[in-house]
Structure 1
Amino acid sequence: MTIDETLAAAWRDSQTVTSDGKSVAREIEGVKVRSTVNHVDHRGSVFEIFEGDLTFWDSPVVYAYQFSCLPGQVKGWGLHEKKFDRYTIISGEILTLLYDARPDSPT
C-alpha cells in the first residue's frame, strides 16, 4: 500500500484540545477548575488548598478531608444530593469522571 492509499483510507481523530492545551470537551454546568499555588524551595513546600478567594469559592467551605489512592487502584463512586465537593490534588495525578444526573441541568 502506498502512502497516498494509506492516507486516503485513514480518518482524522476528533480534536480533544486547542493549540494551547485547553480541552474542547463539553463542560458540566457548575464545574470549576483552576490551578493551585505550590511554593517550593530548598527547605520543602507550602501548598495552598484554600486561600480565601471568595470570587472562586462562591459557597462556604464547611468540611475538608484528605484521602489517598494507591497507584493502579480505583476509588468508588460518590454521589451527593446537597453538597459541593472540592478536590485538590496534592501529589501525583488523578482521573476524575463526572456525570451530571440533575434532572433540570442544562448539561
Structure 2
Amino acid sequence: MLIEDAIKDQQTVTSEGESTNVLLTGVKKYEVPNIITPNGITTELYRPEWDVGPDQIRHMIHAILRTGAISAWHAHESQIDTIFVVNGTIKLVLYDDRADSATRGQINVLHLSRMRPTLITIPPGIWHGLQNLENFESSFINYFNNPYLYSCPDEWRLPFDTDKIPYQFK
C-alpha cells in the first residue's frame, strides 16, 4: 500500500521522448541534432529554415552562470531572445504576462542541456529567468533581433523572488 498523500507523477514526455509541455504563445522550440564526426561532435547553432529565432541576427552574446546562479526576472518590449545552452544544464522559466496572449498567466519550465541541444525563442513581453542546475559553470549563447542599446536598454527587471510572478526558484 502506498503512503497516504503520495502524489502520482503526471506524463511529461511521450514514448518518443518528446515533451508534452505546451509552449506559451509565440515561444518557439527546435531540438538541434548533434552530428557525430570521426573526431568529435558538431552542432549547428542556427539555420534559417528551422524557423526559430529572429529573421536577422543583430547581436549575440555568450553568458556564463556560476554554480547555482539565478538570473531572473527580465523581459523586453521589442527584443527577441534566442537561447542555446553550450555547457551544463540550465532551467529556463517563462511567464506570460502579455495582455493579448492566449497563454497569459501561464508558466513554462524548460530544462536545457548540451546533451539535448535545443534552441528556444522568447518573444517580447515574456518574463524569463535562468538557473544553473550544475555544480560547475553552465553557459549559453543568446542572440537577438536588435543590438543592445547602451544608452537605453530594452531590459525590464524584477527580483528572482518576486511575488508578482507565480513561480519560485528552488
Indicate if the aligned counterparts of 1:47 and 1:90 stay in contact, CA closer than 8 A: no
Instruction: Note if 1:48 corresponds to 2:44.
Output: yes
Higher relative contact order (CA 8 A, sep 6+): 2
Q: For residues 66 and 19 of structure 1, do their structure 2 counterparts lie closer, same or farther at Cα, with a shift above 3 Å needed?
A: same
In 1, Cα distance between equivalents of 2:33 and 2:63:
20
Question: TM-score, normalising length from structure 2?
Answer: 0.49
Rg: which structure is higher? 1
For structure 2, list consecutive stretches of 5 or more residues without a partner in the other structure.
104-170
Considering fraction of residues, name the structure with more helix. 1
1:88 has 2:60 as partner:
no
Equivalent residue for 2:144? none
Q: CA deviation at 1:49?
A: 2.0
Show the counterpart of 2:148. Answer: none
The two structures have a TM-score, normalised by structure 1, of 0.72
CA distance in 2, matches of 1:84, 1:42: 36
Superposed CA RMSD: 2.6
Q: What residue ranges of structure 1 are gaps of 5+ in the alignment?
A: 1-5
Q: Which region of structure 1 is more displaced relative to structure 2, 86-95 or 33-42?
A: 33-42
Q: How many residues align?
A: 102
* In structure 1, C-alpha distance between the alignment counterparts of 2:50 and 2:56, rounded to whole Å: 9
